[in-house]
């Protein structure tokens, strides 16, 4: 006859794994990511930005020159997380995908702060290898 402790043990283990999957310390969730955006358009020029994902609208922000704004999240398990932003200054409107899982997130990386400088020609991402903002991208086509 089977011992009644086995179903109880199974239920306890299942409960533990479900609890871990929902906690911030979960081994099942991707690392938390911080996206930091800095206005480098030029002296005296405010940058208006508005970032969204499919599920989250982060609202409009206005950054003076050399001012930063950040947001944080956990990428989804399917590695399809995408945050996109609009950027407006001096009546110019541009769009850019500020976080793309396949481009910006690797589970084995050691840095989960994705830092961007927003320049007139497009955003430049911080390169941890050489400590420069030299990973530059063009604006999305409208």
| Per-residue confidence (pLDDT) for residue 12, from 0 to 100 | 62
State how far the Cα of 132 lies from the Cα of 139, in Å rounded to an integer: 20
CATH 2.60.40.10 fits 31-136, yes or no: yes
| Per-residue confidence (pLDDT) for residue 23, from 0 to 100 | 46
Best CA proximity match to 141, nearest among 106, 94, 98: 94
Please state the rounded mean pLDDT for residues 4-22: 59
Please state the rounded mean pLDDT for residues 123-129: 95
**Is the pLDDT confidence value at 106 over 50?**
yes
H helices within 1-142, ranges in order?
5-22, 101-104
For residue range 16-53, what is the model confidence (pLDDT) as tens digits? 555 544 444 455 566 889 999 999 999 999 999 999 99
């Amino acid at each position: 006859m089977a011992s009644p402790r086995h179903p109880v043990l199974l239920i306890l283990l299942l409960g533990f794994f479900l609890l871990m999957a929902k906690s911030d310390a979960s081994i099942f969730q991707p690392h938390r990511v911080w996206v930091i955006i800095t206005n480098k358009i030029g002296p005296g020029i405010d940058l208006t930005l508005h970032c969204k994902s499919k599920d989250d609208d982060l609202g409009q922000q206005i950054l003076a020159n050399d001012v930063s704004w950040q947001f944080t999240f956990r990428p989804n398990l399917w590695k399809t997380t995408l945050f996109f932003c609009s950027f407006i200054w001096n009546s110019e409107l541009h769009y850019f995908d500020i976080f793309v899982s396949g481009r910006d997130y690797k589970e084995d990386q050691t840095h989960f702060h994705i830092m961007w400088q927003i320049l007139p020609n497009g955003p430049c991402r911080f390169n941890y290898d050489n400590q420069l903002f030299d990973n530059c991208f063009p604006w999305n086509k409208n």
